């Protein structure tokens, strides 16, 4: 498959580190050097499905594809207000389409997991056009009094339209299941038969352990996939890394020994938007005119699960 177009959509409210320090025992001096984050977009009056729809429409426009041509819609999403129907069905209804649609919950590597799935459908000849939309509102998952997590996240949606082609050179998905490192628990409706104690638990993250997992796994995945596809680190035009922490990105870059210009970032103004992070970055680089035909992009993302994923895509 190949990319035909990209789109993204962000909440209008932007919250700076100084804004957070008005109600939280934190400050820019702690947040920025440790994470690279200065501000983040946060859902207030918007609904996540509207951001998802906006990103989808922009990607379709950019691709020059009519929504009616789509053979499949995959949404990557951890949480939104609806348990059912899936976010993909909500977006599909607003686009007025009726192709197969489903959600995946693969946390931060969701865009790459979705690309890998779409690739299988392309290879089996079942689809000719696929839309992937990653829409996330992690700011609705966190405890806003927990300074160790709430300063890290931002919301948004990123989307890409794919068509037939040979441009996805390879993908590598991996899992190191360890639910205790990063999780949120959502209380279900009571029934007359449930006797165990249940409670909502906002996002819990063992930051240092996730940090180590991210640098180690992403460096290994990228090294392995480049070897598999016969591409040297220097031949890669851009490394599109999940925007979780600038120090994680720097750690991966140092491991690979590649120049900083090949690692575009937008974490400064976005924070970590889970699976939306990679496609938002992709769209911003695309709109900035950074890519030319034949450029090799390496995607790498890591997160709850713990899951990680890497992909090599020719632009």
CB of 31 to ligand UT7, least distance (A): 6
| 151 contributes a contact to ligand UT7 by CB under 6 A | yes
Q: Which of 108, 134, 278, 285 is catalytic?
A: 108
Active site residue 108: yes
CB of 303 to ligand UT7, least distance (A): 4
Q: Which two tokens stand for residue 184?
A: 């949120």
CB-side exposure of 279: number of CA atoms within 13 Å?
Answer: 40
| 210 contributes a contact to ligand UT7 by CB under 6 A | yes
**Total of residues contacting ligand UT7 (CB under 6 A):** 21
Q: Which of 17, 167, 245, 272 is catalytic?
A: 272
Cα–Cα distance for residue pair 129/164, rounded to 1 Å:
7
* 3-state SS, residue 59: helix
Residue that the structure tokens 């709430």 belong to: 150
Q: Contacts with ligand UT7 in 212-231 (CB under 6 A)?
A: 214
Q: Contacts with ligand UT7 in 165-184 (CB under 6 A)?
A: 182
Q: Contacts with ligand UT7 in 17-56 (CB under 6 A)?
A: 26, 30-31, 34-35
CB of 37 to ligand UT7, least distance (A): 9
With a CB cutoff of 8 Å and minimum separation 6, the contacts of 115 are: 1, 132, 162, 168, 171, 299, 311, 313
Cα–Cα distance for residue pair 309/108, rounded to 1 Å:
9
| 272 contributes a contact to ligand UT7 by CB under 6 A | yes
With a CB cutoff of 8 Å and minimum separation 6, the contacts of 93 are: none
Residue that the structure tokens 């951890």 belong to: 78
User: Residue 107: which region, alpha, beta or left (left: phi > 0; alpha: psi -120 to 50)?
Assistant: left
- The answer to whether 19 touches 94, Cβ cutoff 8 Å, is no
Stretch touching ligand UT7 by CB under 6 A, among 83-91, 96-104, 154-162, 205-213: 205-213
Q: Which is nearer to ligand UT7, 34 or 94 (CB)?
A: 34
CB of 270 to ligand UT7, least distance (A): 12
Sequence length of the chain is 315
Cα–Cα distance for residue pair 243/246, rounded to 1 Å:
7
Site string for ligand UT7, 107-126 (x = CB under 6 A): -x------------------
What is the dihedral sign for C-alpha 276, 278, 281, 283? negative
Active site residue 167: no
* 3-state SS, residue 96: coil
Q: Which is nearer to ligand UT7, 60 or 210 (CB)?
A: 210
Active site residue 255: no
Binding region for ligand UT7 (CB under 6 A): 26, 30-31, 34-35, 108, 147-148, 151-152, 182, 207-208, 210-211, 214, 244-245, 248, 272, 303
Active-site amino acid positions: 108, 242, 272
């Amino acid at each position: 498959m190949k990319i035909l177009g990209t789109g993204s959509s962000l909440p209008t409210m932007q919250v700076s580190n100084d804004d957070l320090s008005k109600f939280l025992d934190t400050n820019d001096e702690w947040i920025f050097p440790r994470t690279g984050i200065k501000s983040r977009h946060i859902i207030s009056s918007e609904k996540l499905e509207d951001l998802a729809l906006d990103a989808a429409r922009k990607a379709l426009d950019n691709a020059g594809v009519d929504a009616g041509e789509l053979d499949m819609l995959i949404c990557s999403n951890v949480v939104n207000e609806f348990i059912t129907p899936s976010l993909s069905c909500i977006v599909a209804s607003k686009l007025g389409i009726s192709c197969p649609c489903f959600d995946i919950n693969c946390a931060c590597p969701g865009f790459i997991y979705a690309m890998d799935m779409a690739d299988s459908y392309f290879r089996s000849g079942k689809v000719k056009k696929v839309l992937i939309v990653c829409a996330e509102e992690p700011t609705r998952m966190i405890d806003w009094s927990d300074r160790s997590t709430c300063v890290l996240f931002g919301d948004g949606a990123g989307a890409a339209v794919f068509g037939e082609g040979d441009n996805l050179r390879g993908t590598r998905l991996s899992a190191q299941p360890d639910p205790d490192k990063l999780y949120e628990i959502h209380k279900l409706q009571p029934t007359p038969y449930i006797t165990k104690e249940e409670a909502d638990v906002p996002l819990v993250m063992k930051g240092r352990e996730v940090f180590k997992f991210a640098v180690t796994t992403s460096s290994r995945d990228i090294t392995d996939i480049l070897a598999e596809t016969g591409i040297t680190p220097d031949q890669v035009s851009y490394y599109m890394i999940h925007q979780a922490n600038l120090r994680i990105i720097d750690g991966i870059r140092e491991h690979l020994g590649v120049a900083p210009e090949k690692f575009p970032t937008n974490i400064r103004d976005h924070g970590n938007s889970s699976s939306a992070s990679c496609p938002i970055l992709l769209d911003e680089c695309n709109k900035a005119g950074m890519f030319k035909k034949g450029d090799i992009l390496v995607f790498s993302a890591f997160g709850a699960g713990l899951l990680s994923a890497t992909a090599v895509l020719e632009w």
